[in-house]
Chain A
Amino acid sequence: MKKKIRLSAASMLLLTVALTTAACGGNNGNGNGNASPSTNTAPENNAAASDSESPSASAQEDAVEIVVWDKPSADAADKAFKEEAFAAFEAKYPNIKVTHVEQTKEKEREQFMTAVAGGEQPDLYKNPYPDMESYIAQGIAADITDLWNGFEGKDGYLPSSLNAATVDGKIYGVPNDMYVTGLLYNKQMFADAGLDPAASLKDWDSFGAAAQKMTDASKGTYGYAILGMDWADWFFEYYVWQAGGDLTEKQPDGTAKLTFTSDATIKALQYYKDLKFKYKATQKNVVQSLDDNQKDFYTGRAASMIAGSDWIGGLVAKGMDLNNIGFSALPAGPSGKAPSQVGGSYWILNPKSSPEKQQAAFTYATYMTSKEYLQSVLQYNKDNGMFPNLLSVRTDVAVTDYVDGLPAEVVSGVQAAAKDTHLEYFLKARLSPYIVKPIQEALLNEKADLKSVLQTAQDLAQKEVVDKYNEEVKK
């Protein structure tokens, strides 16, 4: 009896161990349970098929498996389209097996960095422009200069689309998409206030006055959705550019110089403060999220906001009338100029992947940014009433051919905004929290001494970031 109990207990123990192991273990994300990047080529899997004379079978003998984080979510509107595209790629390149992995919709950067730290960086990953500087410096993005130079189709891409992925003449990313920022405005709200958008959006003063006129607390409407949350430096930098400066300067020797206390930065911050306290033209909750700003805009609470040229489709999808949306270059600042920012995303390759995998990943990235593929995306968008991004990384794709009823002002607005563009400020990834603090102080405290808060922020950033960065650069 005792023996029986022991046997039964031993069985339960085995079951417990098995369950624990299953719970503790996990799929490493590449679907085949193989963590080693250099061993993912799977000729043995195709050994059985090697007797076949078919070309696809012989191609599979040299199959390369890559992991790409680009799987659409289950509720994505274009899920079926994307899966068709994946299948088309595999049909065209039978020797490349792609494992598509879905990424979280929030905290993408943290998820990616966790994968990198855990030795699970995908062979191909899509990341936004501002991360390139940091990823290149840390060796997370592979140098693809040779692959790019040997790529026949490279002339189809806009030369400027490579700017944020090029360091010291070396290329680290395949351009995926681009946008240019400008001012989105609600035409109806301008008309209701008797305002002419062209005159109102001419410069800082005219815009402040117009935004004030469109603010009506009794109706819950306001003139300008300001970005004051922890990404506040993203749009604030445009105002510094408009005032004729920048937040940092990259010196010829590669070191960084802070310019938080320059006249341009102080003027820009004063204007931010004026929009809140003098013109009273912003929302009260200045630290609300970017999503909330967008919501205020498409629900008709906010008359204007800064946006990327690729956001218009999203606003239309949320129910905003395309004919009610205006897009303009930003109002000019004291420098008389109104530079906007160019952004987008790149495909980056894992530097630790084998050359075969890197070649396969590069082939996939260029396929997904090929003329044929981008045209099919535009056609799909058109067929499904989806508004496309008005900028393309390619010179041979005419986006406007795929939009019906596109207001001429929107096209001209995007073109005007694209005339004078900047990349985001140097060393943004590390300096962002330091400059956000004075921006928020200016927006929340009417009595804030701007020069003083900027000086404090600069001193702190100098000590904690820039001195160390410059030391590393000089080593």
Chain B
Amino acid sequence: MSIPGVNNRMTRITNIRWMPVLFLLPSVLCYLLFKYYPLLSMVRVSFFRYSIVNPPGEFIGLANYTEFLTSSTFWQAVSNTFVFFALYLGLTFWIPIVQALLLSDIRKANAFFRFMYQLPTIMPAVAGVLVWKWMYNPDFGLLNYWLHFFGLGPYMWLNDLNITKLAIVLPAVFAGNGISLLLYYSAIKSIPTEILEAAKVDGASPWRRMWTMLLPNIRFIIVIQFIAFMSGVLLAYDNIYVMTQGGPAGSTTVVSMLVVNTAFQQSRFGISGAMSLFMFFVIALLTVLQNKISAEKD
């Protein structure tokens, strides 16, 4: 005797294509193990005065959260993080967009230019930062040496509290992101040429074509890139660490650095987890806001 409801469910189950599921399983398991398990552990740890020897230690509720939220060191790091965000946004984010727009108009040697833009990506990022750090050296760095030919400097770069942040961002201005450029370029090239040609025939200027046709058509890529850029900058660690280790005088200590230092230098894993969770929510909130604004515009 067959039961119709059960049979339907069985059919649905047997109709699932199990092979792709099985192939995906290892990566999903690794993702759960190395992404979600640490994330959930971090949430749990953030409610404890974590004991590294006898984990998890004493349950203290929200005390870790109140502690960092009332700590001026934390807010200084948050401020530094957002100043970096503003600097990176203002000085670097738009550069690959402009480069892609210009590149899309170049007919001759286009492949050569695309290749040349990608070439610097073969250099490891940290190696690039080390080279810049050497160039910034106020005692014998190349940058001051070059600038003096133009009557500029000497500047103290990483030794000047007023310009240290700018000095950290500056390399990204000159060594832009080649991959982003390629993405924008591909998005521009995917716009139907008839539309652009029609606009040209109708007498739309290059400026007008850029604002009314090119940019709106690649907005999806810009939004995706912006979300990746935002989380990348708000969680930046390696280039700042290599350049200044968070100094001088804490002027470049960002939240991610504070999280690492609190955990591994002070062995305070609970509060470190709480701060990480805070940053997770900040980035999530900004991403949602960004998506909402973008959806409204659409």
Nearest CB on A from B199, distance (A) = 50
CA distance A468 to B71 in the complex (A): 13
Interface segment among A77-85, A281-289, A369-377, A400-408: the answer is A281-289
A20–B27 contact, CB under 8 A?
A: yes
With contact pairs A24-B34, A117-B52, A220-B140 given, residues A284 and B19 touching in the complex (Cβ less than 8 Å) = no
Closest Cβ–Cβ distance, residue A329 to chain B (whole Å): 28
Which segment, of A134-142, A335-343, A382-390, faces chain B?
A: A134-142
Question: Which of B7-15, B200-208, B264-272 lies at the interface with chain A?
Answer: B264-272
B159 touches A429 (CB 8 A): no
CB within 8 Å of B: which A418-446 residues: 429-430, 433, 436-438, 440-441, 443-445
B246 touches A6 (CB 8 A): no
Q: Answer whether residue A216 sits at the interface, using C-beta atoms and an 8 A cutoff.
A: no
- Quick check: which of B78-86, B95-103, B247-255, B283-291 contacts chain A, the rest being far away? B247-255
Q: A24-B34, A352-B53 are in contact. Are A444 and B161 (CB under 8 A)?
A: yes
Residues of B within 8 A of A117 (CB): 52, 55, 269
Q: Say whether A441 contacts B249, CB under 8 Å.
A: yes
Stretch of A9-17, A36-44, A163-171, A265-273 contacting B (4+ beta carbons < 8 Å): A9-17
Known: A134-B267, A430-B266, A445-B161. A440 touches B247 (CB 8 A): yes
Residues of B within 8 A of A283 (CB): 139
B119-142 residues with Cβ-Cβ distance < 8 A to A are 137-140
Contacts of B160 in A (CB 8 A): 444
User: A9 vs B26: C-alpha distance in the bound complex, in angstroms?
Assistant: 14
A440 & B53 in contact (Cβ 8 Å cutoff): no
A398: CB under 8 A from chain B? no
In the complex, whether A331 has a CB less than 8 A from a CB of chain B is no
Find the A residue at minimum CB distance from B244: A287
What number of B residues sit within 8 Å (CB to CB) of A? 43
The reply on A102 being an interface residue by CB < 8 A is no
Given the known interface contacts A20-B27, A24-B33, A116-B52, the answer about A284 and B245 at a Cβ–Cβ threshold of 8 Å is no
Let me know if B281 is at the binding interface, CB within 8 A.
no
A464 in the interface, Cβ–Cβ < 8 Å? yes
- Looking at the assembled complex, report how far the CB atom of A162 sits from the nearest CB atom of chain B, in whole angstroms: 23
How far does the alpha carbon of A204 sit from the alpha carbon of B133 in the complex, in Å? 32
The smallest beta-carbon distance between A298 and chain B, in angstroms, is: 16
B130-157: which residues lie under 8 A (CB-CB) from chain A?
A: 137-140, 156
> A62 at the A/B interface (Cβ < 8 Å)?
no
Interface centre among B19, B27, B244, B248 (most CB of A within 10 A): B248
A138-B52, A230-B247, A287-B247 known; A429 vs B264 contact (CB < 8 Å): no
**Across the two chains, which residue of chain A brings its CB closest to B258?**
A433
Nearest chain-A residue to B253 (Cβ)? A433
Interface residues of B in 12-29 (CB under 8 A from A): 19, 22-23, 25-27, 29
Q: How far is the CA of A441 from the CA of B249 in the complex (A)?
A: 6
Q: Interface 1/0s, chain B 231-267, versus A by CB < 8 A?
A: 0000000000000111111100000000011011111
Distance between Cα atoms of A464 and B66 in the complex (Å): 12
In angstroms, Cα B263 to Cα A124, docked, is: 22
Is A199 in contact with chain B by the CB < 8 A criterion? no
Is B182 in the interface zone, CB < 8 Å from A?
no
Contact sample, A vs B, 13 pairs, CB 8 Å cutoff: A24-B33, A113-B263, A114-B264, A116-B52, A139-B51, A229-B247, A284-B156, A429-B266, A433-B261, A438-B249, A441-B161, A463-B71, A464-B72
